[in-house]
Structure 1
């Protein structure tokens, strides 16, 4: 096992704020909703969003990951540059305010945790997003396994260079940035302006299709099956900014040790979030969504893959009128979500 090019554990706490804001566009919301097959009207129609009290289209739950892809590039290209690639394992979205058309999002990015398990580094990146009001709208925690060239075919980097989208800097970065990485010191957290958690998602009156009194512990959500093709993966890669070739290139998937091209973990999470919010009837009533990935959905070139979603009510809180929903996702008999839960508020 080749160690990372530097002591990444010593860089826990490294933090920065993005230099520019990410402006949420009306058509970008629609593109993302289409990519995750979420057709709830609030993602498509201003009139429908207005009925829930929002001035613009409401972004799907996992939309914020598109802004995080841009915000995290500096961290991946410097502090975490000793790895050749990353495999996502866990994701948590904390929702404090829905993201809508016109929002200008700024992210604080932090390497918040490093753990070494079975000879591999598990790294957690925390994105804290504030909008133009200065309030925190969402916090996103992403845990990945850092993969070195000892874990994949030695020719994968050169192969990626030949097929990756023009304009991306995919050259081997470890040697070029190792000196910078060694010189990096964590940014003092008190040097960044303080922000408060927006209270909106936890104080507004939810307009869910079901009332709290309609639910019982153990009750099941209506099942949903989703069809995914290679075209869906290519589209998601373009919309989300996650252009890792293991999601669309057979040869690179094989060099990475995969049986075939696989769906993006974040794509399956987006599908799972839409499964829950469609049942809710009010996508803005979801306040937390967490997924541990245990396997992947294989998408063959000549036939679509099917992801099957089921869910059940794990617990109910009568004082807060909230529920915790457990979500199961399977593809070709494989359970692709380990533990997945959504915290929701009810009318």
Structure 2
């Protein structure tokens, strides 16, 4: 199905999510378990307090949950000329640790539309502010739009037979698409929020000191395993109910060799790989991943993701470093390019 309008005319369309997302203590633990991140600051208030945090600290990719809720209006009632979307790139910019009790409000903006090799790539920007009005995190999510030509016949019907009620995986074109194109500042933020610098100025409590690292140093490798149960659990915790992550028939209809792990799940595993080495999750200031392949999770075995990393650059003045992350599954690189900017004690 061809898009019924030029989606590029929507660039700049923005709104503020109708309600805040309250970060819950048990939700942090659920998400940390789902991405296999067992750093104590995600689990114990005493440990979090020892690191100087006011509550349990949300893992690096946690706010993707709130982003999915906030972005639903954009993909279901504004950008409706496509039958689905495939995530390609993700960038998290951290300005303040997200902790238990934070009330996050998201400003949503369609930041750019690009055409690359025949594909339409849309980048959505989520700016999250907390109850103090400060920006705590900014997310940039890039997806490729999929039309009916890319989706096998019967896929929509197959999804409708298995998907949870109240969830729409593939949006359908409606007149509201053109309506959205006509008003690019729907429910625009009333004021410009202030940018916090807490993550970039607080004293990091890292296990690694800046004096002990050098360009080219390698991080201890880590191998994680994923079962179908892990995928179902992540789908429930994160709210990503797309059946390609748990239903064989739907995965086959979309041309996949088998059920695959969520891209955001593998990103969460990658973030935990870095913060486990770093020793302080709040010392990550930027995390960016470009997805290049997927992790297949067969029903009769487990999927594996092997993480390695090395220090690409260091800055003595700011005591920071850039870490390059490599993730492989079944011999294939699943991250095309992944980096984490970190601060060290």
Alignment map for 1:1-347 (pairs within 5 Å): 2-169=1-168, 173-175=172-174, 177-187=176-186, 192-347=190-345
Q: CA deviation at 1:59?
A: 0.3
Deviations 1:264-306 (A, max 9, x none): 0000000000000000001100000000001000110110011
Name whichever of 168-177 and 137-146 sits farther off.
168-177
2:15–2:187: 8 Å Cα contact kept in structure 1?
no
CA distance in 2, matches of 1:179, 1:187: 13
CA distance in 2, matches of 1:182, 1:159: 31
1:87–1:147: 8 Å Cα contact kept in structure 2?
yes
1:329–1:335: 8 Å Cα contact kept in structure 2?
yes
CA distance in 2, matches of 1:297, 1:267: 10
Taking structure 2 as the reference length, what is the TM-score of the superposition?
0.97
Taking structure 1 as the reference length, what is the TM-score of the superposition?
0.97
CA distance in 1, matches of 2:219, 2:333: 18
Name whichever of 19-28 and 74-83 sits farther off.
74-83
CA shift in 2, pair 1:171/1:150, >3 Å: closer
Q: CA deviation at 1:183?
A: 3.7
Helix, strand or coil: the match of 2:310? strand
Deviations 1:189-222 (A, max 9, x none): 6x53111111100110001001100001000000
RMSD: 1.3
Q: CA deviation at 1:82?
A: 1.1
CA shift in 2, pair 1:75/1:187, >3 Å: same
Q: CA deviation at 1:40?
A: 0.1
CA shift in 2, pair 1:154/1:325, >3 Å: same
CA distance in 2, matches of 1:331, 1:223: 14
Name whichever of 151-160 and 20-29 sits farther off.
151-160
CA distance in 2, matches of 1:182, 1:346: 45
2:307–2:328: 8 Å Cα contact kept in structure 1?
yes
**Structure 1 stretches lacking a partner, 5+ long:** none
Q: CA deviation at 1:6?
A: 1.5
Q: CA deviation at 1:47?
A: 0.3
2:10–2:181: 8 Å Cα contact kept in structure 1?
no
Q: CA deviation at 1:188?
A: 8.4
CA distance in 1, matches of 2:180, 2:154: 25
2:84–2:169: 8 Å Cα contact kept in structure 1?
no
CA distance in 1, matches of 2:97, 2:224: 25
1:106–1:131: 8 Å Cα contact kept in structure 2?
yes
CA distance in 2, matches of 1:184, 1:50: 46
